């Protein structure tokens, strides 16, 4: 009797929290739609308004977290999968017309798209050169500047040439063709890409024999909803091609997997760390190994031809980003300050603290990947877990930990959930309070890092995400 009662109670709690999460993300989307015009950079929101906004993000993040750690209690019925997909889709549609909150990256997307669509190399000229009517600027580009209205004037770091790779430029150009200089049109294109990504996430979960309900880790994730469909960050397309690549790799279509991974790198550079894991599995199959390396290399070179042709100077975006960018970094900030303390104490003035810190992080990342691939994964689930660990460590030690960079982790979290990393959903919104004090950076990252290390030592999930646990079907 008690056993039956406990089962029914678990089922009731599972259903209730997932009903609340579905309704919660929709209400959150309506909230963002309503308040977003007052929270743009142009609107200059005050501290109270920002704190209220962050509080709402934390609340929906906590609700999401509580639902996900109870995901194994969700009945595996088509009606619940439909609820997850429906509520996530409605939230996305509501967010599309919202104004990007405290964000301006999208202005460069729109400008780059216009330049590329008009058959100019976007890596040649910086927005500042266009604004200053530099003699090198073609007349057609100057006319585009006039047509863009205020867009080109709102691009951040206008002196720096674009740092978005060629595949991103293609999607930006498509957006310009269909919806010139429109952030709403850009988000519509992102929605199409997201639906394709959803399809492949479900296919991968089935390949891995995991519950389809795990797709909620991505589809109902408040960080994903906000960073893609409010602020419009394009990282979604990198995730899309990583998912496509991983799907084909699981099906042993290695050349296709390598090509689509190269395309993913053509959006963001970070997916390159997956390639060693692909090659490790093929280490005893020389022909497949060589064909994968050849396909990946050829497509990567082709993708970066426009970058190479533009030449390198002091305003080259990729180098500026790699050498100078630091933002919201927890571990990296501690590392850099430790190096600074050491060099100051021993009066070693000729050492570049930032340079040393960056080389150390590169070394740590290299060691991590080599350690993870020292032995081939026993099965696809173990492979997914290794990939998650690599991406997680890359994010945790990175000099730049923008909230939308967390979305890189969300993809492998779908296949290998970890309690620690999911905490970011309600911690990383504190990013918008960093202006109140640097300690908010450490509040975001230190709990996650400590718990992540504990999970690596003791085993992931604390029992919440046992993939072999069959959800109750009622």
| pLDDT reported for residue 322 | 72
Residue 285 token pair: 């199959």
Rounded average pLDDT over 136-150: 91
Average pLDDT, the chain: 92
| pLDDT reported for residue 6 | 67
Give me the long-range contacts of 67-70 (CB less than 8 A, separation at least 24).
Answer: 67/17, 67/18, 67/20, 67/21, 67/216, 67/220, 68/216, 68/217, 68/417, 68/422, 69/419, 69/422, 69/464, 70/13, 70/14, 70/17, 70/464
Residues 6+ apart with CB under 8 A from 272: 261, 265
Residues 6+ apart with CB under 8 A from 132: none
| pLDDT reported for residue 473 | 42
Least trusted range by pLDDT, from 53-57, 162-166, 323-327 = 323-327
| pLDDT reported for residue 264 | 98
CA–CA distance, 339 with 79 (Å, rounded to integer): 55
Which CA distances in Å does 430 have to 6, 322, 439, 469? 37, 25, 10, 34
- The CA dihedral of 106, 107, 108, 110, to the nearest 10 degrees, is 90
193: confidence class by pLDDT, cuts 50, 70, 90: very high
- Contact between 122 and 169 (Cβ < 8 Å): yes
460: confidence class by pLDDT, cuts 50, 70, 90: low
| pLDDT one-digit tens code per residue, 349-390 | 778 888 999 999 999 999 999 999 999 999 999 999 999 999
| pLDDT reported for residue 269 | 94
Rounded average pLDDT over 447-458: 92
| pLDDT reported for residue 474 | 37
| pLDDT reported for residue 134 | 86
| pLDDT one-digit tens code per residue, 114-138 | 999 999 999 999 999 999 988 889 9
| pLDDT reported for residue 461 | 52
470: confidence class by pLDDT, cuts 50, 70, 90: very low
Rounded average pLDDT over 378-404: 95
């Amino acid at each position: 009797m008690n056993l039956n009662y406990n089962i029914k109670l678990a089922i009731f709690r599972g259903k209730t929290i997932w009903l609340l999460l579905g309704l919660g993300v929709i209400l959150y989307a309506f909230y963002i739609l309503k308040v977003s015009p007052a929270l743009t950079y142009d609107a200059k929101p005050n501290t109270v308004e920002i704190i209220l906004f962050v509080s709402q993000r934390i609340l929906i993040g906590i609700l999401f977290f509580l639902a996900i750690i109870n995901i194994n209690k969700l009945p595996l019925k088509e009606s619940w999968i439909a609820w997850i997909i429906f509520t996530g889709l409605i939230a996305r549609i509501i967010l599309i017309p919202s104004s990007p909150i405290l964000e301006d990256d999208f202005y460069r997307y729109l400008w780059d798209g216009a330049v590329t669509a008009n058959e100019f190399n976007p890596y040649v000229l910086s927005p500042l050169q266009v604004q200053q009517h530099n003699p090198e600027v073609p007349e057609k580009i100057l006319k585009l500047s006039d047509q863009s209205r205020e867009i080109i004037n709102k691009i951040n770091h206008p002196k720096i040439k674009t740092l978005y790779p060629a595949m991103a430029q293609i999607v930006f150009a498509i957006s310009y063709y269909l919806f010139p200089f429109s952030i709403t049109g850009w988000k519509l294109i992102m929605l199409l890409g997201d639906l394709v990504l959803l399809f492949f996430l479900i296919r991968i979960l089935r390949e891995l024999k995991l519950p389809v309900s795990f797709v909620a880790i991505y589809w109902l994730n408040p960080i994903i909803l906000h960073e893609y469909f409010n602020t419009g960050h394009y990282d979604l397309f990198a995730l899309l091609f990583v998912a496509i690549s991983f799907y084909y790799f699981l099906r042993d279509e290695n050349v296709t997997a390598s090509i689509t991974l190269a395309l993913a790198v053509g959006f963001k550079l970070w997916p390159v760390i997956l390639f060693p894991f692909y090659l490790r599995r093929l280490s005893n199959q020389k022909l497949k190994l060589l064909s994968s390396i050849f396909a990946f290399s050829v497509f990567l070179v082709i993708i970066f031809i426009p970058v190479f042709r533009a030449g390198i100077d002091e305003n080259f975006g990729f180098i500026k980003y790699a050498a100078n960018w630091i933002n919201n970094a927890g571990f990296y900030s501690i590392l850099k300050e430790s190096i600074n303390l050491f060099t100051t104490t021993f009066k070693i003035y000729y050492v570049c603290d930032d340079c040393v810190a960056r080389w150390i992080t590169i070394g740590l990342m290299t060691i991590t990947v080599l350690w993870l691939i020292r032995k081939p994964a026993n099965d696809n689930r173990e492979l997914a877990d290794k990939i998650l660990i690599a991406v997680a460590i890359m994010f945790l030690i990175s000099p730049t930990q923008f909230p939308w960079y967390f979305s890189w982790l969300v993809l492998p979290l779908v296949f290998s959930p970890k309690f620690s990393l999911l905490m970011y959903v309600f911690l990383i919104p504190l990013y918008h309070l960093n202006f109140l004090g640097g300690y908010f950076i450490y509040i975001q990252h230190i709990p996650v890092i400590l718990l992540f290390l504990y999970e690596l030592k003791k085993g992931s999930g604390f029992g919440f995400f046992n993939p072999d646990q069959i959800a109750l079907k009622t």
